[in-house]
């Protein structure tokens, strides 16, 4: 039994399928010394769901769901799949913003890893949308947390009332202020106690219930933009970020930071909505080559112009009423002369014309859901294409496996970091495909090794790049977590250092003295 990381475990010690929180609590109290590992949908990319002699606790039967459209809240069990939540929300015209693109993951797994989807640029990660959570601790007691009820500081001593009167110290380090960091236990000053447990990868407690915030569903534009130059792509992303209403709070600063279109538009009207970016994804030419070869581009009717080096996938939220027959006419409203604000679609077209990219872009407007699904399919086809390429290579050499980075840097350093990706892998003679959440500064350099030697060389290259990312104020573990992956554990140690890791382990020991919950996840247990 293994997760999407394909890391081999040693054995399955047994399987528990609790149908309720009390049933789970009772079993844990009766089996205090048994090693247990929580499993959701096995979509982890870190080996975190791969057992090594553990009793696996599956959440698949804990799939309750109650959606309150009036309060914009959803209460649910940890085993509920994202696609099940999406179906329920679609029927009510609602939206859960931080959901990852893969619908087969569970919500409990999302909370355990603080998952982040394509919309992180505007909406943040899972942590920003969880309002309450119940966890079953290793000794079988339930910890109920609600956002806003308990604020703590680094170094605070916390006492959890109940059987055993568990106490622990909040670590004293501070997680860097990046869009997303998945590198051990989250600590900020001040912070909600709930946030300490979100993203703890199932090592501090087992998620048994969640309450999430929701939003009304927005009208979307989806588009593919093709360019022959990485610099052009990153400049366009920078200007789209600057023009987004997420980045601009004040009416008089709506063009602050936009290099390309600082002049040429009238002063904004009070109702000016900006270009409301939800997400921007990037795929380099190697990614496009892989999905060309496996037929994904043809299957989804996506034509890549000759000479393309970079493709961007945009999702833009549009103002209410964007599904009207006047939409095409409003596209012409790029540079109005009456002082009124241009429609965001007009601004987008003007920006693309500035970069000479308007002629080859492929846009799907609100109401064109089928075409939007085809364009978005590229996002999932890329990692699948990489995985299939690796499977094909590993048939000739079983030692070949996935070697991929998950790094984030402050956006103003991203162009520099992209240069380092190509330079370092090029110096080591490694084939690489680069893709990811460019609007967040989070990209995934994937090594495509041709032999076992290039696997180890690729890992060494990633360690070198991790040091560079850290020196830029970034993090080498952005969204996938650590799990049991040896390389990611090395990255965690390199990123935090021994003092911070000792504080994390002390927190783990306080809540799970026997280290029997998720043993080997995040850190190697005492004594090996």
pLDDT given for residue 521 in this prediction: 95
Say if 507 falls within a structural domain. Answer: no
Q: Is the pLDDT of residue 328 over 80?
A: no
Same domain, 194 and 272: no
**Out of 22-31, 133-142, 390-399, 450-459, which region has the weakest mean confidence (pLDDT)?**
390-399
Say if 285 falls within a structural domain. Answer: yes
pLDDT given for residue 165 in this prediction: 74
Q: Does the pTM of the predicted model rise above 0.85?
A: yes
pLDDT given for residue 488 in this prediction: 94
- Tell me the Ramachandran region of residue 478: left when phi exceeds 0, alpha when psi lies from -120 to 50, beta otherwise: alpha
pLDDT given for residue 263 in this prediction: 43
135-150: pLDDT as tens digits: 999 999 999 999 999 9
- C-alpha distances (whole Å) from 484 to each of 104, 297, 492, 525 are 21, 34, 11, 11
Of 377, 408, 432, the residue that ends a domain is: 377
Say if 494 falls within a structural domain. Answer: no
* Residue of 110 and 267 predicted with greater confidence: 110
Q: Residue 230 is inside which H or E element, if any?
A: helix 230-243
Same domain, 137 and 43: yes
pLDDT given for residue 339 in this prediction: 47
Q: Take residue 322 and report the two structure tokens written for it.
A: 């964007």
Say if 8 falls within a structural domain. Answer: no
Give the pLDDT band (50/70/90) at residue 164.
low
Same domain, 40 and 121: yes
Instruction: Round the average pLDDT of the chain to a whole number and report it.
Output: 88
Q: Is the pLDDT of residue 38 over 50?
A: yes
Q: Residue 365 is inside which H or E element, if any?
A: none
User: Side-chain half-sphere of 519: how many Cα atoms within 13 Å?
Assistant: 19
Of 215, 233, 261, the residue that ends a domain is: 215
Q: Is the pLDDT of residue 289 over 80?
A: yes
- C-alpha distances (whole Å) from 320 to each of 22, 28, 244, 338, 349 are 45, 50, 16, 22, 19
Same domain, 98 and 194: yes
- For residue 412, what is the domain's CATH number? 3.30.70.2740
Say if 389 falls within a structural domain. Answer: no
Task: Please check whether residue 474 is in contact with residue 413, taking contact to mean a CB–CB distance below 8 angstroms.
Answer: yes
Give the pLDDT band (50/70/90) at residue 228.
very high
Among candidate residues 385, 377, 491, the one with its CA nearest the CA of residue 448:
385
Domain that holds residue 408: 397-486
Same domain, 37 and 155: yes
The residues with which 75 forms a beta bridge, in sequence order, are 66, 211
pLDDT given for residue 343 in this prediction: 73
* Residue of 279 and 398 predicted with greater confidence: 279
Show the DSSP H helices in 266-343 as ranges.
285-293, 296-299, 327-331
Q: Is the pLDDT of residue 265 over 50?
A: no
Of 215, 233, 265, the residue that ends a domain is: 215
The whole-number average pLDDT for the span 306-320 is 91
- For residue 187, what is the domain's CATH number? 3.30.465.10
Same domain, 241 and 317: yes
pLDDT given for residue 480 in this prediction: 85
- For residue 365, what is the domain's CATH number? 3.30.70.2190
347-361: pLDDT as tens digits: 888 899 999 999 999
Give how many domains the chain has, as a whole number: 3
Say if 32 falls within a structural domain. Answer: yes
pLDDT given for residue 342 in this prediction: 65
Same domain, 205 and 328: no
CA–CA gap between residue 190 and residue 462 (Å, rounded): 33
The whole-number average pLDDT for the span 169-191 is 95
The whole-number average pLDDT for the span 451-465 is 94
> What is the DSSP secondary structure assignment for residue 398, as one 8-state letter?
T
* Residue of 260 and 236 predicted with greater confidence: 236
Say if 525 falls within a structural domain. Answer: no
Q: Is the pLDDT of residue 460 over 60?
A: yes
Same domain, 291 and 197: no
Say if 66 falls within a structural domain. Answer: yes
């Amino acid at each position: 039994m293994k997760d999407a990381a394909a890391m081999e475990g040693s054995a399955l010690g047994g399987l528990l399928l609790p149908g309720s929180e009390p049933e789970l609590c009772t079993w844990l109290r009766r089996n205090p010394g048994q090693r247990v590992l929580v499993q959701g949908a096995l979509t982890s990319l870190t080996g975190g769901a791969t057992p090594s002699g553990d009793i696996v606790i599956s959440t698949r039967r804990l799939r309750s769901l109650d959606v309150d459209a009036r309060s914009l809240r959803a209460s649910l069990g940890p085993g509920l799949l994202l696609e099940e939540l999406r179906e329920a929300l679609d029927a009510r015209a609602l939206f859960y913003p931080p959901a990852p693109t893969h619908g087969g993951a569970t919500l409990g797994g999302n909370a355990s890893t603080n998952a982040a989807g394509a919309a992180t640029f505007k909406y943040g990660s899972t942590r920003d949308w969880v309002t309450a959570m119940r966890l079953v601790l290793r000794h079988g007691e339930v910890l109920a947390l609600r956002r806003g009820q308990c604020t703590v500081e680094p170094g605070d001593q916390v006492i959890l009332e109940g059987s055993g009167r568990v106490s622990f110290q909040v670590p004293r380090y501070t997680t860097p202020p990046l869009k997303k960091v998945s590198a051990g236990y989250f600590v900020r000053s001040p912070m909600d106690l709930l946030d300490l447990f979100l993203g703890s990868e199932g090592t501090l407690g087992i998620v048994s219930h969640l309450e999430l915030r929701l939003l009304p569903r927005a009208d979307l534009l989806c588009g593919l933009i093709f360019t022959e130059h990485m610099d052009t792509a990153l400049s366009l992303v920078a200007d789209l970020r600057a023009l987004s209403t997420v980045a601009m709070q004040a009416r008089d600063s709506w063009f602050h930071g936009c290099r390309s279109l600082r002049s040429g538009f009238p002063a904004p009207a009070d109702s000016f909505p900006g270009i409301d970016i939800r997400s921007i994804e990037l795929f380099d030419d190697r990614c496009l080559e892989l999905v060309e070869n496996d037929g994904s581009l043809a299957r989804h009717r996506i034509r890549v112009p000759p000479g393309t080096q970079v493709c961007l996938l945009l999702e833009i939220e549009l103002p209410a009423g964007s599904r009207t027959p006047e939409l095409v006419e409003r596209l012409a409203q790029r540079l109005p002369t009456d002082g009124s604000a241009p429609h965001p679609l007009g601004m987008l077209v003007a920006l693309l014309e500035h970069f000479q990219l308007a002629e080859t872009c492929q846009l799907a407007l609100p109401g064109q859901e089928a075409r939007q699904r085809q364009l978005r399919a590229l996002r999932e086809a890329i990692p699948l294409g990489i995985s299939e390429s690796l499977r094909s290579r590993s048939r000739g050499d079983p030692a070949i496996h996935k070697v991929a980075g998950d790094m984030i840097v402050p956006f103003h350093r991203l162009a520099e970091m992209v240069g380092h990706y190509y330079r370092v892998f090029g110096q080591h003679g490694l084939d690489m495909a680069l893709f990811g959440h460019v609007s967040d500064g989070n990209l995934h350099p994937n090594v495509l090794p041709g032999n076992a030697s290039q696997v180890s060389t690729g890992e060494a290259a990633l360690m070198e790049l991790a040091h560079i990312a850290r020196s830029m104020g970034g993090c080498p573990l952005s969204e996938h977590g650590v799990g049991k992956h040896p390389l990611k554990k090395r990255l965690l140690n390199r990123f935090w250092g021994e003092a911070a890791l000792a504080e994390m382990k002390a927190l783990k020991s306080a809540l799970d003295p026997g280290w029997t919950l998720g043993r080997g996840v995040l850190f190697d247990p005492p004594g090996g």
